[in-house]
């Protein structure tokens, strides 16, 4: 057995005596280091949305008027809510007068055709007279040259020839006038026939009848309220107004998730963004087309959001990002639990997270809350945000058990 020298025993005694004091000092120093909640920079789903609210309206509304006014409505074959196809007869007007107009126009056309034939016959007759006058004039000129005809006879032949030329030209003008009258009579007949055919008021497109203003016995009018209103192909869409600062974020094709009064949620996409903004309200109109869904009716209230951006990115809790005059920054916790000021660039803010586009890498730890109370170089005692949440759960369960216990 080896016996230690006296001086070694003394040193060992001093070390043992000092050990409790050293452990106590370390405990006191640790107790004075502030605890902070930390979080890890991680890749997370991020979105940017624009909130919208508006009303369902027809995408394309078709107004149905009679082509001819002033005649009584004799039939109404469709009601609001009916599905109709292009060409279906929606209503009829009294066509008796229109039929008489067709008969009258046919008679006028027959008269115009006869007048045209008569004018052409007159041209033929006058042309024959001109040829005869030319022959007489030629013969009289020959006789006058040989001295066997008088100057008076020659003058009369020339006058007759000029009169025949004028008569022929007049007959030709008569043919042109008769031709114009004939074309006018044909056009009149076509209009009369068209009016007669349009006594049947038909649907110009496939769609749904949204309103009917006509009544049996009422006089059909080409102005004022239409007899029917149709929703072309039954398509409705959202008309919403968006503030000018968010209108610039919207573009065609962006997806939308919408809530419609009394109906399940529906999806859609931006179809149109107004090129102008109201100078009074500072709002611009947005049209959102909808996926097929039963129960969609013009006038229903719609609310929802348009998804402007949807991506994954590096993110930290929103409360971890601080700002000063130089921009945005976070406090990074190093391996020795010392804080370091780090300037960062930020992107989207979504669901309590802030996207970091530059300045951090995945896996780095930052102060999640109360970072404004700390400075660069401070030492802290890090408490992971996830671990803190997990540790709170058993306490809550214990509290529940205590509350539920019976004495």
The pairing of beta strand 35-40 with beta strand 381-384: parallel
Query: Which residue, 339, 76, 113, is CA-closest to 201?
Result: 76
Measure the CA–CA gap between 245 and 278, rounded to whole angstroms.
13
Q: How confident is the model at residue 292 (pLDDT cuts 50, 70, 90)?
A: confident
Q: How confident is the model at residue 30 (pLDDT cuts 50, 70, 90)?
A: low
Q: How confident is the model at residue 175 (pLDDT cuts 50, 70, 90)?
A: confident
Q: How confident is the model at residue 28 (pLDDT cuts 50, 70, 90)?
A: very low
Query: Which residue, 11, 50, 25, is CA-closest to 243?
Result: 50
Measure the CA–CA gap between 253 and 271, rounded to whole angstroms.
6
pLDDT single digits (tens) 49-105:
999 999 999 999 999 999 888 889 999 999 998 999 999 999 999 999 999 999 999
**Statement: residue 364 has pLDDT above 90:** yes
**Domain 50-58+231-310 class in CATH:** mainly beta
CA dihedral over 4, 6, 8, 9, signed as positive or negative: positive
Measure the CA–CA gap between 199 and 201, rounded to whole angstroms.
6
Q: Is the pTM here over 0.75, yes or no? A: no
**Mean pLDDT for the stretch of residues 104-124:** 91
Mean confidence (pLDDT) of the chain: 85
Q: In 10 A of CB 43, how many CB atoms?
A: 10
pLDDT single digits (tens) 192-224:
999 899 899 999 999 999 999 988 988 888 888
Work out the angle between the directed axes of helices 151-197 and 96-146 (0-180°, nearest 10).
170
Give the fold, CATH level 3, of 33-45+312-402: 2.40.420
The length of the chain is 407
Joined tokens for residue 216: 């049996």
pLDDT single digits (tens) 248-289:
999 999 999 999 988 899 999 999 999 999 999 999 999 999
């Amino acid at each position: 057995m080896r016996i230690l020298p006296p001086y070694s025993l003394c040193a060992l005694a001093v070390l043992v005596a000092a050990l409790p004091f050293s452990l106590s000092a370390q405990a006191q120093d640790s107790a004075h280091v502030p605890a902070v909640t930390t979080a890890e920079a991680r890749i997370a789903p991020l979105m940017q949305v624009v909130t919208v609210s508006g009303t369902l309206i027809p995408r394309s509304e078709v107004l149905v008027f009679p082509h001819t006014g002033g005649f009584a409505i004799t039939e109404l074959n469709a009601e609001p809510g009916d599905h109709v196809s292009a060409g279906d007869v929606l209503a009829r007007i009294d066509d008796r007068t229109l039929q008489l107009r067709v008969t009258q126009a046919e008679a006028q056309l027959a008269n115009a055709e006869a007048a045209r034939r008569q004018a052409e016959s007159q041209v033929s007759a006058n042309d024959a007279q001109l040829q005869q006058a030319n022959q007489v004039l030629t013969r009289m000129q020959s006789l006058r040259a040989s001295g066997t005809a008088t100057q008076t006879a020659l003058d009369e032949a020339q006058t007759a020839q000029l009169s025949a030329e004028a008569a022929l030209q007049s007959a030709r003008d008569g043919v042109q006038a008769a031709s114009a009258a004939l074309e006018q009579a044909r056009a009149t007949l076509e209009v009369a026939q068209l009016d007669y055919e349009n006594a049947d008021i038909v649907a110009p497109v496939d769609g749904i009848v949204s309103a009917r203003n006509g009544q049996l016995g009422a006089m059909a009018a080409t102005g004022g309220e239409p007899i029917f209103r149709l929703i072309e192909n039954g398509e409705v869409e959202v008309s919403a107004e968006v503030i000018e600062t968010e209108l610039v974020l919207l573009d065609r094709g962006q997806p939308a998730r919408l809530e419609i009064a009394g109906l399940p949620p529906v999806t859609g996409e931006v179809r149109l963004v107004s090129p102008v903004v109201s100078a009074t309200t500072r709002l611009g109109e947005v049209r959102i087309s909808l996926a097929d869904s039963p129960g969609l009716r013009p006038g229903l209230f719609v609310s929802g959001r348009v998804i402007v951006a949807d991506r994954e990115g590096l993110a930290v809790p929103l409360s971890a990002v601080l700002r000063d005059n130089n921009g945005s920054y976070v406090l990074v916790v190093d391996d020795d639990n010392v804080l370091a000021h780090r300037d960062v660039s930020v992107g989207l803010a979504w669901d309590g997270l802030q996207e970091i586009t530059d300045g951090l890498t995945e896996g780095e730890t930052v102060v999640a809350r109360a970072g404004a109370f700390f400075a660069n170089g401070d030492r802290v005692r890090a408490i992971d945000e996830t671990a803190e949440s997990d540790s709170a759960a058993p306490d809550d369960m214990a509290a529940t058990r205590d509350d539920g216990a019976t004495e």
